[in-house]
Amino acid sequence: MDSEDKDLSSLIAARILGLPLTEEENTRLDEWLNQSEVHRRLFNRIRNRELAKRILRLQYEGYGERMATQFERTVFRRSRQLRWLRWGSVAALFVLVCSLTFYLWNREDPCQIYPGEGGAVLTLADGRQYDITMQNGNEIAGLMASAPVDTQADSIAYHTLTVNAGQEFMFRLPDSTQVWLNSESELRFPAKFAEADERKVYLRGEAFFDVERDQRRPFVVGADEASLTVYGTRFNVSCYAGESLSTVLVEGSVGFRAPGVGEVRLQPSEQLVYHAATQQVDVRPVDVNLYVAWVEHQFVFQGQTLEEIMTTLSRWYDFTPVFTSDAMRHIRLSGRLYRYDDIRILLDSYERTVGLKFKLQGKRIIISE
């Protein structure tokens, strides 16, 4: 293992955990981050708050005391710098250094398919664009406040959040409604909701809404020619291009409307699927956890086709699935995967159980028997 990689890993880990670095160490790390977009993407991926949660979980499980001594002997030799470190922080840093060193050691591997990270592009009503890399609602609020709004204009000024493949994002709308945007999704929302009108946003892709209750102003989600009207509820909407619109209600009440379809009311734990080509609506009871698990950073599949599974995974891991035969597309499988884990954990389980082969080639996964 390259000692330079190990030293660099410890610097990254220290900055992520908020530990003090010398001026020389900060300069070295900044130079490495500015070398390429790949370095910055790696740093943001590791910095993702979910990794921090996993580190804290290790601390609460007593991992700190078991690993601190080994960490002091094998990773850092500077004992004076360790005196002010708490046991939990030492162990957390040890775990993070090991993880970072693995990523750095394998960074030239052409078959690495990494999980996504938190991030989005905010396009303000005046056309300015910003890369939002941290899930920071205050940052978005500040940027939106900086956009001039013509209060005399008849048209409503809309901002747009775009979440690309391999990204996810959570933020609050101007009315305090919380929105989780999944990969390959876009949300248009007004710079300010009118005081005496509906609160309408427009979605492409997938989002989970926790709507702020306001009986005077119903909340409306527009998706192509369809719309969902709510007054204060939690629900998931999926309307990717080429797929039927689907919404799953967790709590509250939702009214669905579309051309040729009268209003259809949903009850909690029901899923509505709208087939635009035939103007057909199907409503059925479901286990909502299967459809909102992504908000809790989980993939949960239950009897879905392999094509559906790979399409869902491809949006997050940013790859293209290639089937060597059409028959494999229709194989039905189940499984569970933490969104920030290596995709090969799930693929290996499918290889063992149904005899499929998954070969990683750059940004493609070749599926064969």
81-94: per-residue pLDDT in tens? Answer: 433 344 344 444 55
State yes or no: pLDDT of 334 exceeds 60.
yes
Query: Mean pLDDT across the stretch 317-323?
Result: 94
pTM: 0.71
pLDDT at 56: 43
Cα–Cα distance measured from residue 203 to residue 209, given in angstroms and rounded to the nearest whole number: 11
pLDDT at 111: 55
pLDDT at 46: 66
194-219: per-residue pLDDT in tens? Answer: 876 889 999 999 999 999 988 888 99
297-368, CATH topology level: Phage tail protein beta-alpha-beta fold (3.55.50)
State yes or no: pLDDT of 283 exceeds 60.
yes
83 contacts: CB under 8 Å, gap ≥ 6: none
Which CATH code fits 117-291? 2.60.120.1440
| Domain residue spans of the chain | 3-105, 117-291, 297-368
12 contacts: CB under 8 Å, gap ≥ 6: 29, 43, 46, 96, 100
